[in-house]
Amino acid sequence: MHSKTYRVENNPFNKKVEIPTSKSYANRALILAAIDKRDIIIHNMPESSDVENMIECLRKIGLKILRDNETVTIKGSFPECEVKSQSIVTLKTGDGGTTNRFLIPLLALGKNKYQIEPKGHMKERPMDELYKVLGSLGVNFEKNQGGWPIIQGPISSDIKSVEVDCKKTTQFATGMQLALSHLGIAVVAKNLSTSKSYFDLTLNLIEDFKKTSEFEVPVDFSSLSYPIALALVCGKVNVTNCHHIDSLQADSKFLSIISKMGGVFELNSKGLAIEKQELRPGFFDCTDCPDLIPTLAFLCAHTKGTSSITGVNVLRFKESDRLMEIIRLLKAYSIDFTLNEEGLGELLIQGTGIIKDKVMSLTPPDDHRMVMVSYLFLRANGGGELTHSNSVTKSFPDFFDVMEP
């Protein structure tokens, strides 16, 4: 589906750019809007395929959603808007973790039978914990040969609390917290050892919904990491729509990581500005921000000395086995590393500063983050060809337009 090949040239990077807003925030806000009886207005909605899939699914289950450029208005409330159906309602949900894992608990509030049809690697990602928790709340799951189980609620409101294991992902607990936020059922997040900030973002947004019905999606700090990292290695950039650090986003930690590496940036009303600098290696705990690890690995590879990145094991449960894919990249560019998979996992990278000016052909999986970090390696070194370039539509649809000269 996303096998398009893109040619990357080894050009300097010197641009003013705008980056997307946060799909993580947007999909959380859409679920909360879906159960709110008020009309909810959300500004700065990203064009992410995960968000577009969520919007289309919400429309199909009965919500009225109006769009005016980047502003979305959600009318109606689920399950009150649910139209009774004698047949199974099929929803095409794409390959997004937030789309699929947030939508399922919402559907469990209704009475119809729903069939989720995900795409790509999402079909293989862990889901059993979510089914187990919803089953304990009285939700029925019918086996579906060759696909995910058919879901039929409603959730029992007699139960006062439910525990959710977050060892592999916090998205199960987040999906449950969003869907149950108005029912008085407490969600207890167990083994919350990684991505805690994402769960905190959920709790904060639930509180915000009690105060207002109009929201603005903030700049996405995951997307911000790519132009910043490229500028630090081979140029300079001014991100004109980033004016402050959103501490609720776990990946805003990237700026403090850069500071720890000796990097200096300016952040003011004109945006965020940063340019090529000699960085120093360090020890970086990424248990709370695993999406940053591929980009950080790129920076560490271009920094002289040994850097340590901890919290890497959870990468095996992402859109691809990102840990294995990072190792593939390091091997492709002859960068020495050591992997210790005990506990939360640690990756030691022996950076060389300058890698090699060699044209490469990189074949990352259909995973937006691995495609984007592969682009960084190609652009900063000898250039070459990159497959699965269409994958970037998941979080950063105009990535190549933004990054190219």
CA distance 274 to 38: 42
Domain ends where: 184, 216, 248?
216
**In the predicted structure, residue 221 carries a pLDDT above the cut 70:** yes
Task: Provide, rounded to the nearest whole percent, the portion of the chain with pLDDT above 90.
Answer: 89
Report the pLDDT value the prediction gives residue 404, as an integer from 0 to 100: 94
CA distance 55 to 58: 5
In a domain, 306, yes or no: yes
Residues 180 and 49 in one domain: yes
**In the predicted structure, residue 238 carries a pLDDT above the cut 60:** yes
Residues 242 and 186 in one domain: no
pLDDT in tens, 141-194: 998 887 899 999 999 888 889 999 998 889 999 999 999 999 989 999 999 877
In a domain, 59, yes or no: yes
Report the pLDDT value the prediction gives residue 1, as an integer from 0 to 100: 42
In a domain, 253, yes or no: yes
Report the pLDDT value the prediction gives residue 49, as an integer from 0 to 100: 94
Residues 195 and 151 in one domain: yes
pLDDT in tens, 275-330: 999 999 999 999 999 999 999 999 999 999 999 999 999 999 898 999 999 999 99
Residue 384 contacts residue 357 (beta carbons within 8 Å):
no
Residues 49 and 198 in one domain: yes
In a domain, 158, yes or no: yes
Residues 161 and 304 in one domain: no
In a domain, 293, yes or no: yes
149: domain CATH number? 3.65.10.10
Domain ends where: 164, 193, 216?
216
Q: Write phi, then psi, for 110 (nearest 5 degrees).
A: -90, -175
pLDDT in tens, 85-129: 999 999 999 999 999 999 999 999 999 999 999 998 899 888 999
In a domain, 347, yes or no: yes
Residues 175 and 237 in one domain: no
Rg, Å, the chain Cα set: 21
What average pLDDT score do residues 213-223 get?
Answer: 97
**In the predicted structure, residue 266 carries a pLDDT above the cut 80:** yes
Residues 87 and 180 in one domain: yes
What average pLDDT score do residues 40-63 get?
Answer: 97
Residues 236 and 365 in one domain: yes
**In the predicted structure, residue 78 carries a pLDDT above the cut 90:** yes
Domain that holds residue 386: 6-20+219-403
pLDDT in tens, 194-211: 778 889 999 999 999 999
Residues 31 and 43 in one domain: yes
CA distance 46 to 222: 13
Domains held by the chain: number = 2
Q: Long-range contacts for 399-403 (Cβ within 8 Å, ≥24 apart)?
A: 399/226, 399/372, 399/375, 400/6, 400/375, 402/15, 402/17, 402/18, 402/19, 402/227, 403/13, 403/17, 403/226, 403/227, 403/230, 403/375, 403/379
Residue 195 contacts residue 290 (beta carbons within 8 Å):
yes
Residues 157 and 243 in one domain: no
Q: Indicate the pairing of strand 89-94 with strand 71-75.
A: unpaired
Amino acid identity, residue 232? L
Report the pLDDT value the prediction gives residue 126, as an integer from 0 to 100: 86
Q: Write phi, then psi, for 212 (nearest 5 degrees).
A: -150, 165
Domain ends where: 182, 216, 250?
216
Angle at which helix 322-332 crosses helix 368-380, to 10 degrees, equals 10
CA distance 34 to 175: 13
* pLDDT confidence tier of residue 3, bands split at 50, 70 and 90: low
Residues 123 and 74 in one domain: yes
Task: Give whole-number Cα distances, 194 to 175, 259, 290, 312, in Å.
Answer: 16, 22, 8, 10
Nearest to 151 by CA among 163, 169, 134, 167: 134
In a domain, 1, yes or no: no
| Structure tokens belonging to residue 377 | 């390696």
Report the pLDDT value the prediction gives residue 147, as an integer from 0 to 100: 87
What average pLDDT score do residues 338-365 get?
Answer: 91
Residues 185 and 295 in one domain: no
